[in-house]
Every structure is written in C-alpha cells, then in structure tokens.
Amino acid sequence: MSGDVEVTGRARPTLESVAARAGVSRGTASRALGGGGPVSPRTRAAVLAAAEALGYRPNLAARSLVLGRTGNVGLLVSESDDRLFTDPFFAAIVRGVHGELADAGIHLVLTLAQTEAERRRAVRFATSGHVDGLLLISVRGGDPLPEALAAQGLPVVLSGRRSAEPAAGLAWVDADNRDGARQAVDHLVRTGRRRIATVSGPADLAAGRDRMAGWRDVLRAAGLPDDLHTSGEFDLDSGHAATHRLLERDPHLDAVFAGSDLIALGVLQALREAGRQVPDDVAVVGFDDIPAARGSDPPLTTVRQPVEAMGARMAAMLLARLDGTPPDPPWAVLPTALVVRSSA
C-alpha cells in the first residue's frame, strides 16, 4: 500500500488559532465563545466567525482539566441477574437518561459490572475522575456498592427503592411496585377470583419484594388466603416451574399474579400444559408490559411502569445534585398503571 494518507493532515484548530484569526488574544476568544466575561459585540462576532470558519471544536480534555469537571456521568449496570438483558427495561432506562443528559450537554459513559472482577474495575472507574456522578441500575438489597461510592464523595442515584433515609450524596428513583401489584390483585378480586397465587421475582431485589407485598396487602384486606406464593428469578422458566408446583399445592387456584411479564409467559405455558383455560379457569396478570405481552395467547393483562420516565428522573436528580442543589427529598416514586387485556 502507498502509505497512510493522513486525511486529518491539518491539525485540529485550537483556541489559539481562532484567536489569531480573529485578531484577538486567547483569553478574549475564550470569553467570546463560552465564558461569561465582558466582550464587545464586534469582537464576539469576529471570534464566532473565526471559529466557524476554522471548524473549531474545543478540546474537552483541556477544558475538563482546568475545570475539574468532566461533563460525563456514568451509568453503572450492576447486573448480577439477567433481567436487563431479557426485557427491554435497560434500553428504556437508557433512553430516558440520555434524553435528560443530552439537554444539559452531559455525556453518558456506560459500565457493566457482572463479575466480581468487573465490579472492582467499575469502582476504580467511578472513582477515577472520569465521571462527575453516577447512575446505578439494578442493585441487589445488601449490596454495599452505592454507599461505598457515595462515601467517596461521588453523587449517586440508584434505580430501585432504598431506605427512606439514604446516605449523604445518595438518591433513588423507583416505580410504585407495591401499588401496581395492589391494582393488579384488586382487579382479580373484583372480578371474582378467590384463590390467588403469586410467582414473585427475587426477594433481594426491592421490586420483587414490593410486588409481593402489594399482593399480600390486597388479599389480607379482602380476607383471602395469602399462602400461595413462590419466588424465583424474573424469567420464563421460573414462571413455568413455579406454576406446576402451585398447581400441585392447590389444583383449584383461579388466578396467578406474576412478578414480571416473562414470568407470566411461563405461567401461561404451564397452565396450557395442565389443561387450564385462561382466563376462564385461571386468570393471569403480569408486570412490566413488555412488547411481547400483547402477543401472547391470550394477550396479557399487566402493570405498566414508566421506565423511560424513571431514567429521566434519575438523570434529573443527578444533574440537580451536580448543580449544587441536591433534590429534597432525595428520592422519587413514580406511578404504575394496570393495563387490562384478556388474560384477566
């Protein structure tokens, strides 16, 4: 080959070259472009024109070095489970977060932490000065990571409920899982169901616990038995296996509240195998409203959570904190809503 023809032959223009072309000093050019200092309209116009002509883009590393801020926030997916990768939750969170950050000119740096080694790397990353703050997704109950990070002085916002008095520098956003579950089970009770089981998600994820608690709330209030429950992962196999166990314990159960739509799909499958008609013999309600929920047979009644809005809210809370106005209270609970289709 005839050698690398370096297309970017001319080096990127610096503030220096812009200033030179506009016939001013570097400091003035800096003020004209971004800073708040006083600049005459004439000069400003000249600098802007020069920058435009040269195609000037500020060097972010240099800016970040002097400012002590990076203009980045991290999104750390503490993914011990596969949930994020089996439903579109992750993508929706990202979309919400990104929308909010982009408006503020902040960039999103993504980090996954599945293994223990990756977790250590993620901590190093978060404390390396690469980001000004951190968003944490899918944190298990006893996980010390958020507090550890916040203790380093890094602003942190989590998805998923935490204690009502989070540590300093720590905030959280969650969907109202408990109320969503109540709506779902309430719907079952009002439509005449009496033996209502639940297949809930992992007990060490707040979402799993809260959805089960909502189920129990309604049953107790209605004076109905709350003995039919099993928990597992948020996936199809969990739903499938659990339903067969439940059916053995009580062949006459007439409803199942599933902790997620994927679980619900497994429930439907098991009910088919057991010869039960849905919703005639057994009603089924899911949670999440994933796209495939509309395509099941029958289409799934489920609880929708505002995932994208949750992402946006997390980002907004972090930005507020970075602006020096920590949100008070340092948490937010977003409403969920029942979507009634044919399965219940």
Considering only residues 2 through 21, tell me which ones interact with DNA, judged by CB under 7 A: 11-12, 14-16
Lay out the site mask for a second copy across 94-113 (x = CB under 8 A, - = otherwise). Answer: xx--xx--x----xxxxxx-
Q: Cα separation of 147 and 149, whole Å?
A: 5
Alpha helical stretches, state H, the chain: 15-22, 26-33, 41-54, 60-67, 89-103, 116-126, 145-151, 177-190, 206-221, 236-249, 261-273, 307-322
Distance between the two ends of the chain, CA-based, in angstroms? 68
- Specify the DSSP class assigned to residue 300: P
CB contact at 8 A, 76 and 111 = yes
The binder of a second copy chosen from 25, 152, 227, 245 (CB under 8 A): 152
Six-digit token string for 336: 């969920």
- Is residue 134 within the footprint of a second copy (CB under 8 A)? no
Compute the Cα dihedral for 24, 27, 33, 39 and give only its sign.
negative
Considering only residues 217 through 236, tell me which ones interact with a second copy, judged by CB under 8 A: 235-236
CB count within 10 Å of CB 72 equals: 17
- Is residue 48 within the footprint of a second copy (CB under 8 A)? no
- Is residue 27 within the footprint of DNA (CB under 7 A)? yes
Where b means 16+ CB within 10 Å and e means fewer, 140-172 reads: eeebebbbebbeeebbbbbbbbbeeebbebbbb
The binder of a second copy chosen from 43, 72, 80, 230 (CB under 8 A): 72
The option from DNA, a second copy, none interacting with 86 (CB < 5 to 8 A, set by class) reads a second copy
The binder of DNA chosen from 20, 26, 244, 306 (CB under 7 A): 26
The option from DNA, a second copy, none interacting with 124 (CB < 5 to 8 A, set by class) reads a second copy
Number of residues that bind a second copy (CB under 8 A): 63
- Is residue 76 within the footprint of a second copy (CB under 8 A)? no
- Is residue 304 within the footprint of a second copy (CB under 8 A)? no
The option from a second copy, DNA, none interacting with 38 (CB < 5 to 8 A, set by class) reads DNA
User: Quick check: helix, strand or coil at residue 73?
Assistant: strand
The option from a second copy, DNA, none interacting with 153 (CB < 5 to 8 A, set by class) reads a second copy
Q: Cα separation of 189 and 344, whole Å?
A: 11
> CB of residue 40 vs a second copy: minimum separation in angstroms?
27
At residue 38's C-alpha, the angle toward residues 35 and 44, to 5°, is: 75
- Strands 337-339, 302-304: pairing is antiparallel
Task: Between 30 and 183, name the residue whose CB sits nearer to DNA.
Answer: 30
Beta-bridge partners for 133: 73
Lay out the site mask for DNA across 45-84 (x = CB under 7 A, - = otherwise). Answer: -----------x-xx--xx-xxxx----------------
Where b means 16+ CB within 10 Å and e means fewer, 309-327 reads: bbbbbbbbbbbbbbeeeeb
Q: Of 211, 242, 216, 342, give the one whose Cα is nearest residue 283.
A: 342
The option from a second copy, DNA, none interacting with 95 (CB < 5 to 8 A, set by class) reads a second copy
Lay out the site mask for a second copy across 271-290 (x = CB under 8 A, - = otherwise). Answer: -x-----------------x
List interacting residues with DNA (CB under 7 A): 11-12, 14-16, 23-28, 30-31, 33-35, 37-40, 42-44, 56, 58-59, 62-63, 65-68
List interacting residues with a second copy (CB under 8 A): 6-8, 12, 57-62, 64-65, 70, 72, 75, 84-88, 90-92, 94-95, 98-99, 102, 107-112, 118, 121, 124-125, 127-130, 151-153, 168-169, 235-236, 262, 265-266, 268-269, 272, 290-292, 294-297, 299
